Amino acid sequence: MVLAGLLLAAGAVAQTTRPADTVSMRAEPVAADTWFVQGQSALGSSANQNFISNAAFVITPDGVLVIDALGSPPLAERLLALIREKTAQPVRYVVVTHCHADHIYGLQVFKATGARIVAHVGCRDYLASDNARLRLQASRQDLFPWVDENTRLVTPDLWLGEGGRNDDLVLNLGSRQFRLRHVGPAHTVEDLVMYDPATGVLFAGDIVFRGRIPFVGQADSRRWIAALDRMLELRPTLLVTGHGPLSRQPADDLQLTRDYLNYLRQAMGDAARNLEPFDEAYARTDWSRYASLPLFAAANRMNAYNTYLLMEQEAK
C-alpha cells in the first residue's frame, strides 16, 4: 500500500515537471552596460516556449532596468539568470512596451524580485478584460507546460498617462536618465518606447519589426506611421526592436516598417474606396517587395484584411 502511494506520488511529480529547455537564449551586447536577447522569428508555440519576442536590460551602479519580460515565466527566469551572470545589482524597473502576451507573461518572475513594473495606463483596460483572461486561458493549453495554471497577469506599479498627466516619463537610476514616451495608439493603444541618451539606443517594442512582417492586428496604422515619424526625429544610433536582430541602421528599419504600413493603406484604401472586394484587391496587389520577409505567408493577408476594414471605416 505504501509502495503504491509512493508510485502515485512519483507519477504526479513527473506530470508536473517541465521538460528540459529546448530553445537557446543568450545576452548579446548592444552598447555600454546594455544587452538584449533575441526571440525566434516564428509564431508562439510550446515547441519554442513562446520565445518569439525580444527583451533587453541596462545595468547601472544603482540597479538594473529591464525592457519587456518575454512570453512565459520560464523564459523570464532564464533572462534573470543572464542578468545575474552580468551583475548582482537588483532589478529596479521593468518597462512594458505593450501588453501583448509574448512580452508580459514573464512579468511575475521580476515582480517577485521586488522590481517595479512600468506601463502605460492603456494596459489597464486590457489586463482587466475578458480578452486578456481568455488569451491566458488558451495559452495555458497551447503553450503548456511553459505557460500553465501558475502563470498570471501582473498589474504594473507605475503608470504613464494616469489622470491625464503627461504621457512622457523619465526614469532615474543614479546618474542615468531613461526617457519613456507613449507613442500609441499605434501597434497597440499603450505602445511605449524608451530612449537612452547616454548610448543613443532606442528600445522600440513592436513599433518596429525587424527582419519579419509586422503584426498589424487591429492597429491604428495612421497613428503608427506618425509614431515612426516621431522616432525618426530622435535620430537613434542603435535600435532594439520588439522582434528581430539589433539594428545598426535605425533609420532604414524605421523606414521599412513605415513603408510597409503606407503600402497597406494605399493598396487597401484604393480598394475600399472603389468598393472592390477584398479577395480581388489582395490578389491583384504586388507584394513582391515584402514577400521574402519571414512570416509573410502567415501574417500579410490578415494585415491586409484588417487594413481594408480600417480604410473602410476611415472612408466613412
| Residue ranges making up the domain that contains 53 | 22-250
Helix, strand, or coil (residue 187): coil
- Say which range, 29-38, 162-171, 222-231, 257-266, has the weakest mean pLDDT: 162-171
Q: Please state the three-class secondary structure of 232-277 as a single string.
A: HHHCCCEEEEEECCCECCHHHHHHHHHHHHHHHHHHHHHHHHCCCC
Q: What pLDDT does residue 156 have?
A: 96
Residues 195, 236: contact at Cβ < 8 Å? Answer: yes
Instruction: Establish if 264 belongs to a structural domain.
Output: no
pLDDT tens sequence across 35-89: 999 999 888 999 999 999 999 999 999 999 999 999 999 999 999 999 999 999 9
Q: Which residue has the higher pLDDT, 207 or 210?
A: 207
Residue 262 resides in a domain: no
Residue bearing cell 507573461 = 105
Q: Does residue 185 fall inside a structural domain? A: yes
289 is written with which cell numbers? 517587395
Please check whether residue 45 lies inside any domain of the structure.
yes
What does DSSP say about strands 238-243 and 201-209: parallel, antiparallel, or unpaired? parallel
**pLDDT confidence of residue 215:** 87
Residue 39 lies in a domain: yes
Q: Encode pLDDT of 237-260 as tens digits.
A: 999 999 999 999 999 999 989 999
CATH of the domain at 188: 3.60.15.10
Report pLDDT for 5. Answer: 44
* Cell triple for 94: 521593468
pLDDT at 13: 38
Number of domains the chain contains: 1
Here the cell at position 55 is 527583451
If phi > 0 it is left, if psi is from -120 to 50 it is alpha, else beta; for residue 247 that is beta
Residue-wise pLDDT tens digits, 271-314: 999 999 999 999 999 999 999 998 899 999 999 999 999 999 99
The whole-angstrom separation of Cα 204 and Cα 40 is 17
* DSSP secondary structure letters along 44-70: --TTTTT--S-EEEEEETTEEEEE---
What confidence tier does 236 reach under pLDDT thresholds 50, 70, 90? very high
Query: What pLDDT digit, counting tens, does each position of 117-157 carry?
Result: 999 999 999 999 999 999 999 999 999 999 999 999 999 99
Q: Report if residue 280 sits inside a domain.
A: no
The verdict on residue 255 lying in a domain is: no
The grid cell for 129 is 478584460
Say if 10 falls within a structural domain.
no
